[in-house]
A and B are shown apart, each in its own frame.
Chain A
Amino acid sequence: MEEFSNLMQGFSVALTFHNLMFMFIGILLGVLIGVLPGLGGANGVAILLPLTFTMSPTSAIIMLSCIYWGALFGGAITSILFNIPGEPWSVATTFDGHPMAKAGRAGEALTTAFTSSFVGALIAVIVITFLAPLVAKFSLQFGPPEFFAVQLLTFCSFVGLGKGHPAKTIAAMMLGFALAAVGLDTVTGMLRMTFGTGELLRGFNFLIAVIGLFGIGEILLTMEEGLAFKGVHARINPRVVLQTWAQLPKYWLTAIRGTLIGCWMGITPGGATPASFMSYGIAKRFSKDGEKFGTGQMEGVVAPETAAHAAGTSALLPMLTLGIPGSPTAAVLLGGLLIWGLQPGPLLFVEQKDFVWGLIASMYLGNIVGLIIVLTTVPWWAAILRVPFSIIAPIIIVVCAIGAYTVNNAMLDVALMLVFGIIGYLFKKLDYPLAPLVLALVLGDMAESSFRQSMLLSRGEVSIFWSNGLVGGICGLAMLMLFWPVISKLLARLRRGNNDLDEARPVE
């Protein structure tokens, strides 16, 4: 029960007035970010990251991770009331959530969504509490080849679990790696791909990429739709909440299934979005009311919300233990750790106990605080969405520009943000996944250095990656993931007629 005493110590860190205040601010900002189009978990955290440089790392990560929880909650509000997913992972929530709202059951739908998110997140935090120390302890014996193998697995999982075409996933990923390589190579002191410009010396900052790709790209996409928000009014009173809670236990199996899918997809970087689709698809298949899905079934809200929140939360597990984030937002938080001078990875659990357990404790508290806040403040957020887009859009662009500027105090970054905005717009429209690009940009240097160190150990022999059972096993799994699109097609062909594999996969 070492974890338990560590966790208690973590609560003593998180439960100071100071940190509780940051938690509160974080959740409020997070919900706001989740509700507004063009601002999401990843770029919201990226914009606010420079403001935390002077804070203590523990307070900073508590606030930023609470922004993340808030954004996860916030996405559901727009999905249900306005049929506009504020975040990609809440697309599946619109399928049944919005019909419920249109049928006058908005309060019920929102309560269901928030409670499901809460349950999914809570179980995922419990998983983190007990699994993370084990993973960290286990990975202490990792050498460079093992680390590279885990990174390989991460990136291959995108190919295997993502919903985009493999060629596009790989291209996006490699673009990220290529951008990460730009600038001064710290090992040899050579300048790579700077083409004589001094500004490129420090390379591309992933925060700029995140703000451009997700922020500006999203605004351009939203603009295309011509945005006229037509929302359903929502009132939540305690009676509706209690009534809904009384009905929810019926769907415990759906919730647990969703949570498991979410945890799996969050730890392997499938991400919250495919997790929510997969959970919805499976719930539809196994529910006895399956054919009524899409008309406003509570179960159809429970399934994607538990999965999305569980995935979003468990994405922090590999980030903390291995230094490999499971989602773009986790990648931004990882960037934060590096900026605050903390080295993510197994040693974090040994050297920075207060930080790690403070963060884990704040996940419990943050989700409870978050649930209470969203349940009580829904009408507010709905009102914000009624502010015309022609006011919101320029303000979001201004906020993005400031966020991009404050990263390095460089105007070039603001211009780069616009370029990334165009890339984000084109890539989104053509179904290039953005998450692998961002993750590759964040992890590029780390992946490269573990690859180099492995090559040094083996004197250039690639066979080091299957030289022992552990590294070979991880690499084997990575290859399985890489070729999963091909394998799953073959399997489906083998058992034609019983093609549940295809249906369980997200809608393509």
Chain B
Amino acid sequence: MSEDDHTDHEKHHHGVSTRAVEIGVALFTFILGVVVIMDSRRVGAGWAEDGPQAGYFPYYIGIILCIASAWTLWRALFSGKSFAGVFVSHRKFRLVLSVFIPAMIYVTATYFIGIYVASALFIGAFMYWHGRFSWTRIIPVSLSVPVAMFLLFEVWFLVPLPKGPLETLIGY
């Protein structure tokens, strides 16, 4: 999936067409279908002595997925005015990435510093970059959300969330 996005990103400098994305997604689902078929054949898609084998049902699912993807692929390649036009403009795609990339960093950071600290930093950074808020507004908002979360999950509902060094420091 992530490799797809990289190629998408490069094409967006010229504005990627709906047709290209349509073809990319149809190819992606087609390949998934092939994977499903192959794996079903591996575990056995036929009939054992005691009934259908593990791959019996998914095998057909894979076949139908391939046929449906091929159909979309065919339409995208050879017909349809609906596929013309720009899928996403360069400017809009940058906006989308400006949310997605920080979200990815946020999720990765959660592994190391726990979800509470990561959330505070994420909300703060987001407000700073996108909203151009002053620190007097960023700090209260970005701190109050994790604190509320902490009270709700750890204290009230007793659901443990990923924690990092800071939480260990204060005894959690």
Chain A positions within 8 Å of B, measured between CB atoms, are 50-51, 54, 165, 167-168, 170-171, 174-175, 177-178, 181, 185, 187-188, 190-193, 216, 219-220, 223-224, 226, 388-391, 393-395, 397-398, 401-402, 405-406, 409, 411, 414-415, 418-419, 421-423, 425-427, 429-430, 432, 448, 451-452, 455-456, 460
Asked if B161 and A402 make an inter-chain contact with CB atoms under 8 angstroms apart, the answer reads: yes
Asked if A405 and B161 make an inter-chain contact with CB atoms under 8 angstroms apart, the answer reads: yes
Residue B18, interface by CB 8 Å: yes
Nearest neighbor of A397 in chain B, beta-carbon distance: B103
Q: What would 21 A/B residue contacts be, using CB atoms closer than 8 Å? A: A50-B159, A54-B157, A171-B26, A171-B69, A174-B62, A181-B36, A188-B43, A220-B99, A388-B131, A389-B130, A394-B123, A395-B123, A397-B99, A401-B107, A401-B110, A411-B107, A418-B104, A419-B1, A426-B25, A429-B87, A430-B25
Asked if A391 and B141 make an inter-chain contact with CB atoms under 8 angstroms apart, the answer reads: yes
List of B residues within 8 angstroms of A175 by Cβ: 29, 32, 65
Asked if B65 and A171 make an inter-chain contact with CB atoms under 8 angstroms apart, the answer reads: yes
Known: A165-B72, A411-B111. A391 touches B61 (CB 8 A): no
Residue B53, interface by CB 8 Å: yes
Nearest neighbor of A388 in chain B, beta-carbon distance: B131
Asked if A402 and B153 make an inter-chain contact with CB atoms under 8 angstroms apart, the answer reads: yes
List of B residues within 8 angstroms of A418 by Cβ: 100, 103-104, 107
Residue B155, interface by CB 8 Å: no
CB distance from A368 to the nearest CB of B (A): 29
* Residue of A178, A193, A391, A414 touching B127 (CB-CB under 8 A): A391
- Chain B, residues 35-76, CB within 8 Å of chain A (1/0): the string is 110011001100100011111111001101100110110010
Known: A395-B145, A401-B107. A220 touches B96 (CB 8 A): yes
CB distance from A37 to the nearest CB of B (A): 12
CB distance from B106 to the nearest CB of A (A): 7
CA distance A226 to B93 in the complex (A): 11
Asked if B35 and A51 make an inter-chain contact with CB atoms under 8 angstroms apart, the answer reads: no
Residue B162, interface by CB 8 Å: yes
CA distance A168 to B82 in the complex (A): 14
Taking A178-B61, A192-B55, A397-B106 as known contacts, 19 extra A-B pairs with beta carbons closer than 8 A to each other, sorted by chain A number, are A171-B65, A185-B54, A190-B54, A223-B96, A223-B98, A224-B88, A224-B92, A388-B131, A393-B130, A395-B123, A397-B103, A398-B106, A398-B119, A401-B115, A402-B115, A411-B107, A430-B21, A455-B51, A456-B51
- Chain B, residues 115-138, CB within 8 Å of chain A (1/0): the string is 100010011001100110100000
Asked if A452 and B57 make an inter-chain contact with CB atoms under 8 angstroms apart, the answer reads: yes
CB distance from B144 to the nearest CB of A (A): 10
Asked if A398 and B95 make an inter-chain contact with CB atoms under 8 angstroms apart, the answer reads: no
For the complex, count residues of B whose C-beta is within 8 A of A.
67
CB distance from A508 to the nearest CB of B (A): 9
Asked if B96 and A425 make an inter-chain contact with CB atoms under 8 angstroms apart, the answer reads: yes
Nearest neighbor of B145 in chain A, beta-carbon distance: A395
CA distance A110 to B64 in the complex (A): 45
Q: Which of B58, B71, B106, B145 has the most CB of A within 10 A?
A: B58
Chain B positions within 8 Å of A, measured between CB atoms, are 1, 5, 18, 21-22, 25-26, 29, 32-33, 35-36, 39-40, 43-44, 47, 51-58, 61-62, 64-65, 68-69, 71-72, 75, 87-88, 92-93, 95-96, 98-100, 103-104, 106-107, 110-111, 115, 119, 122-123, 126-127, 130-131, 133, 141, 145, 149, 153, 157, 159-162
* Residue of B25, B107, B131 touching A390 (CB-CB under 8 A): B131
Nearest neighbor of A440 in chain B, beta-carbon distance: B61
CA distance A204 to B26 in the complex (A): 21
Asked if A171 and B72 make an inter-chain contact with CB atoms under 8 angstroms apart, the answer reads: yes
Asked if A51 and B159 make an inter-chain contact with CB atoms under 8 angstroms apart, the answer reads: yes
CB distance from A503 to the nearest CB of B (A): 19
CB distance from B98 to the nearest CB of A (A): 8
Nearest neighbor of B35 in chain A, beta-carbon distance: A193
List of A residues within 8 angstroms of B110 by Cβ: 401, 411, 414
Q: Which of A178, A397, A418, A419 has the most CB of B within 10 A?
A: A178
List of B residues within 8 angstroms of A411 by Cβ: 107, 110-111, 162
CA distance A226 to B110 in the complex (A): 27
Asked if B65 and A187 make an inter-chain contact with CB atoms under 8 angstroms apart, the answer reads: no
Known: A401-B107, A406-B159, A456-B52. A167 touches B119 (CB 8 A): no
CB distance from B17 to the nearest CB of A (A): 12
Known: A171-B65, A451-B57, A456-B52. A393 touches B99 (CB 8 A): yes
Asked if B58 and A181 make an inter-chain contact with CB atoms under 8 angstroms apart, the answer reads: yes
CA distance A409 to B163 in the complex (A): 12
CA distance A423 to B162 in the complex (A): 26
Known: A168-B72, A401-B106, A402-B149. A448 touches B57 (CB 8 A): yes
List of A residues within 8 angstroms of B44 by Cβ: 190
Asked if B71 and A167 make an inter-chain contact with CB atoms under 8 angstroms apart, the answer reads: yes
List of A residues within 8 angstroms of B131 by Cβ: 388, 390-391
Q: Closest 5 interchain pairs by CB?
A: A390-B131, A390-B130, A174-B65, A190-B54, A394-B126
CA distance A205 to B127 in the complex (A): 32
Known: A178-B32, A430-B21, A430-B22. A398 touches B122 (CB 8 A): yes
List of B residues within 8 angstroms of A185 by Cβ: 43, 54
Q: Which of A388, A397, A452 has the most CB of B within 10 A?
A: A397
